[in-house]
Each structure stands twice: as C-alpha cells, then as structure tokens.
Amino acid sequence: MTPRPGFKVGPITVDPPLLLAPMEDVSSLPMRVIAKRIAGPGLMFTEFVSAMAIHHGAEKTFRKMRIHPEERPLGIQIFGGVPEIMAETAQHCEAAGADLIDINMGCWVPKVCRTGSGAALLKDPEVATAIVAAVVKAVRVPVTVKVRAGFEYGAFAAPDLVQRFQDVGAQMITLHARFAKQGFEGQADWDLIKQMRKVVSVPLIGNGDVKSGEDAIRMLNETGCDGVMAGRAAISNPWLLQSIRCAITGEPETAKPTLDERLEVVMEHARMMVAYRSDSDTLAEAKELPTFAECERRAITSLRGQLPLYVKGVFGASEYRARLSRVNTLAELQVVMDEVRATARDHETLTTGA
Ligand SMILES: Cc1cc2nc3c(=O)[nH]c(=O)nc-3n(C[C@H](O)[C@H](O)[C@H](O)COP(=O)(O)O)c2cc1C
C-alpha cells in the first residue's frame, strides 16, 4: 500500500497524517502520552479549555494546558464566544508551550452553546471570524479550527465559514462531518468532507466514525482530505490507533497486544492519572489541601468510564464491568485486573488444554 504523506501546518510537520481528537475528560495528558508511545499519531489535542475559565484564573483549567515533552506536536484546543478573551487565552496556551492553537466550533452541548461558544458560532459568521482573526493576531503559533458541518440539520454552513477563516489566517481545518443538532446520532456524512475539499486550501482533516485502518484509507481516498482524526475508537484502545497508523503509513501491522500488555497499560494509565491529578498547582483551589488518598480517589473515579473499555472482548471481563465502575484506588484496580487475568488464563487452559 502506498504510504500517505504527512503535511505541514506552519512550521509543524504532521506525519503520519493521523490525529487524535480532542476529547473532554478523555484526552488528558496521561491518555495522550500512552497514545503517543503506542500509536505515534502525527498530532494530538488537549481536552477543550474554557477561555472564560482561564480569564477567571481557574487553576483546574490551567492544568489542561500541561504538556509532556514526549507528546509533541500538540495542539491546545480552546472554546469561547468573546474574541478578546479567546485571544488572551491563546496567549496563555502559547506561553504553556502549545505547538498550535485549535478553536472549537463543534461542541453541541447546550451548556457550551448557550454562552455563544462551540457550535453556536456556526450560526454567527461575524463573531466566529472575529474570534479566529483575534486569535491569529495574538499568537505566533499556527491557529486551526475544528468545525461541524453546520448547526441545524442540513444547513451546510461550514464551506462559507471556513473560507472566511482561511482569509483571516486559519492554517488547518478539521470537519466533524455531522451537524451540531445531530450530536452523535446517525452516520458521519463523509461526502460533506469531499465538498469541503473544494473550498479548503489549507490542510483539511476529516473526522467522524473512523473505526479502523480501512475506514481511514477509505476516508482519505473518497474525500481527498489530508489527514484523518480519530476519537471514540481510540478511547482505551491505543492499539486500534496504532493499527490505523499502520494502514496509513503502509507499515506492517504489529502483533495484537497480549493480555498482560493490555493490563499493564491500564495500570500505567491509572498511575499517570494519579500523578497528574496530584500535582500541587491544582491544589491551590482547595481551602484545605486534599490528601494524596483524595487525589488518588479523584483520579481513579475519573477513569471509571474508560476502564471497562480496556478489557472489552477479554474472556470473562464483562463480569468485572460493574466492579470497575466502583474502584477508588490503584490497589483496588490492581486486584480487579489480577482477577481478569486469572479468569482469562483459566479459560485458556481449559480450551487449549495447555
Ligand atoms: C468523550 C468525548 C469528548 C469530546 N470532547 C471534545 C472536545 O473537547 N473538543 C472537540 O472539538 N470535540 C470533542 N469531542 C468530539 C471529537 O473530537 C470528535 O469530533 C467526535 O468524537 C467524532 O469523531 P469519532 O467518530 O472518531 O469519535 C468529544 C467526543 C467525545 C466522545
């Protein structure tokens, strides 16, 4: 298979042309470092960062901007509805070391849209363009925009909007090929990406429902996009992201991870999350400093939704799903992982007679 070339966004090389999607409560630093080590995507993004929260000095939000040297190039994604405040936040992101700043115009959640942020901007070309222009002016790093096709179902606003964004200096456009009103319903319509190709002269990234290497190649071939962004398929599954990478680069597929490797990555993710959540500057918000045990509990509970996905498909693991949704500590998690391993081994011994 012909390897797909990378591309440039200003001074940044995105190679391979595979991007890990920004995902609130998921694509935090520990997840990204693991994804980078195992799958090596060409570009990753933080969870979205509220410009208003940064403006008000929320320490917890500043934590989202933290970057590990291994994970570059990294985009910090910001959201907000006020050009000056978005520009100010972009400067904080640049100071934090962002390789690029991505502006969110895709979040459909009412809490975000009500503030005139996220996908609400798709309905307001003037403010949306003013935001991109203000952010471009405020920083030296490239500025990119992630959009949905439009707000109301069928109202394909993105082509007009992104031309305006390019005119004021946006250097890459990502299209999640759904309308905001759809949320995550229905199938992403890749034909919309193909239509965007006609108007986007900067790198265009296709996004929506890429779940395998075959999907990624099909999206590249059918739409003419420069790169593919994967989100949900990569949650608790860096190996799937790796297999998408192999399809794109033409490298031979690496062997599937063993159960031990998978379980070790679960523990590594959990340990890194505890370290990440225990960092002192996040504690400044607390009137009384939380104990390490409290930080550990917060870190592990924040991962509860992702833990069962790590062991999906492992024999017997479904029995442990309920317990994984109740774990509070690393030690409790280790006990469940050991039991998952033992159950799978017993099954293997029975079926192979080994
Ligand atoms: C849990 C979750 C959190 C998300 N958070 C963000 C976000 O912070 N910023 C953003 O632009 N998109 C966010 N998205 C949307 C994804 O970036 C992506 O556009 C969407 O999931 C479609 O891609 P997929 O089909 O590969 O998952 C989120 C999606 C999920 C599932």
Dump pLDDT digits (tens) for 5-60: 999 999 999 999 999 999 999 999 999 999 999 999 999 999 999 999 999 999 88
The proportion of the chain whose per-residue pLDDT surpasses 90, expressed as a percent, equals 86
Specify whether the CB–CB gap between 78 and 93 falls below 8 A: yes
**Over the stretch 215-225, which tens digit does the pLDDT of each residue have?**
999 999 999 99
Q: What is the mean pLDDT of residues 102-109?
A: 98
Q: To test ligand 1's pocket by mutation, which of 27, 146, 232, 237 has the most ligand atoms within 8 angstroms of CB? A: 232
- The pLDDT value given to residue 280: 57
Higher pLDDT, 7 or 284: 7
* Structure letter (DSSP) for residue 5: P
Displacement of CA 262 from its chain's centroid (Å): 20
**Over the stretch 226-267, which tens digit does the pLDDT of each residue have?**
999 999 999 999 999 999 999 999 999 989 999 999 999 999
Q: Which residues contact 198 (CB under 8 A, 6 or more apart)?
A: 159
**Which residues on neighbouring strands pair with residue 45, listed in sequence order?**
75
* Structure letter (DSSP) for residue 14: E
- The pLDDT value given to residue 315: 83
- The pLDDT value given to residue 286: 57
Q: What is the mean pLDDT of residues 314-341?
A: 92
Kindly state if the Cβ of 24 falls inside 6 Å of ligand 1: yes
Closest by CA to 220, choosing from 199, 235, 205, is 205
Higher pLDDT, 187 or 350: 187
User: What's the CA gap between 94 and 82, in Å, rounded?
Assistant: 18
- The pLDDT value given to residue 354: 54
- Active site (annotated) includes residue 107: yes
User: What's the CA gap between 78 and 126, in Å, rounded?
Assistant: 18
Kindly state if the Cβ of 47 falls inside 6 Å of ligand 1: yes
Q: How confident is the model at residue 195 (pLDDT cuts 50, 70, 90)?
A: very high
User: What's the CA gap between 276 and 11, in Å, rounded?
Assistant: 29
Kindly state if the Cβ of 50 falls inside 6 Å of ligand 1: no
Q: How confident is the model at residue 352 (pLDDT cuts 50, 70, 90)?
A: low
- Residue 73: cis peptide before it, omega within 30 degrees of 0: yes
How many angstroms is it from 20 CA to the middle of ligand 1? Answer: 10
Q: What is the mean pLDDT of residues 64-74?
A: 96
CATH of region 7-249: 3.20.20.70
Ligand 1, atom 1, lies closest to the CA of 23
Q: Where does residue 258 rank: exposed (0-12), middle (13-18), buried (19+ CB within 10 A)?
A: exposed
Residue 77 Cα: closest atom of ligand 1: 9
**Which residues on neighbouring strands pair with residue 204, listed in sequence order?**
173
Kindly state if the Cβ of 178 falls inside 6 Å of ligand 1: no
User: What sign results for the dihedral spanned by CA atoms 305, 307, 312, 316?
Assistant: negative
Q: Which of 93, 107, 225, 295 is catalytic?
A: 107
Closest by CA to 145, choosing from 154, 163, 137, 156, is 163
Residue 209 Cα: closest atom of ligand 1: 25
- The pLDDT value given to residue 284: 54
Displacement of CA 54 from its chain's centroid (Å): 20
- The pLDDT value given to residue 129: 98
Kindly state if the Cβ of 270 falls inside 6 Å of ligand 1: no
β pairing state of 7-9 and 12-14: antiparallel
Residue 188 Cα: closest atom of ligand 1: 25
- Side-chain-side CA neighbours of 293 within 13 Å: the count stands at 1
Kindly state if the Cβ of 23 falls inside 6 Å of ligand 1: yes
Q: How confident is the model at residue 193 (pLDDT cuts 50, 70, 90)?
A: very high
How many angstroms is it from 293 CA to the middle of ligand 1? Answer: 31
Residue 47 Cα: closest atom of ligand 1: 8
How many angstroms is it from 149 CA to the middle of ligand 1? Answer: 14
**Which residue bears the tokens 């115009």?**
105
- The pLDDT value given to residue 24: 97
- In the predicted model, is pLDDT for residue 268 greater than 70? yes
Q: Would you kindly state where each structural domain of the chain is located, as residue ranges? A: 7-249, 259-352
Query: Please, what's the b/e burial string for 302-337 (b: 16 or more CB within 10 A of its CB; e: otherwise)?
Result: ebeebbbebbeebbbbeebeebbeebebbeebeebb
User: What's the CA gap between 265 and 234, in Å, rounded?
Assistant: 14
Ligand 1, atom 29, lies closest to the CA of 23
Q: How confident is the model at residue 281 (pLDDT cuts 50, 70, 90)?
A: low
Q: Where does residue 163 rank: exposed (0-12), middle (13-18), buried (19+ CB within 10 A)?
A: middle
- The pLDDT value given to residue 131: 98
- In the predicted model, is pLDDT for residue 349 greater than 90? no
pTM of this structure: 0.96
User: What's the CA gap between 319 and 80, in Å, rounded?
Assistant: 42
Kindly state if the Cβ of 106 falls inside 6 Å of ligand 1: yes
- The pLDDT value given to residue 83: 98
- The pLDDT value given to residue 57: 93
Residue 255's CB is within 10 A of a number of other CB atoms, namely 8
Higher pLDDT, 354 or 248: 248
- The pLDDT value given to residue 287: 62
- The pLDDT value given to residue 231: 98
Ligand 1, atom 7, lies closest to the CA of 23
- In the predicted model, is pLDDT for residue 157 greater than 80? yes
| First-last CA distance in the chain | 38
**Vertex 140, ends 137 and 144: CA angle to 5°?**
75
**Which residue bears the tokens 């998690």?**
333
How many angstroms is it from 26 CA to the middle of ligand 1? Answer: 9
Q: What is the mean pLDDT of residues 77-81?
A: 98
Kindly state if the Cβ of 146 falls inside 6 Å of ligand 1: yes
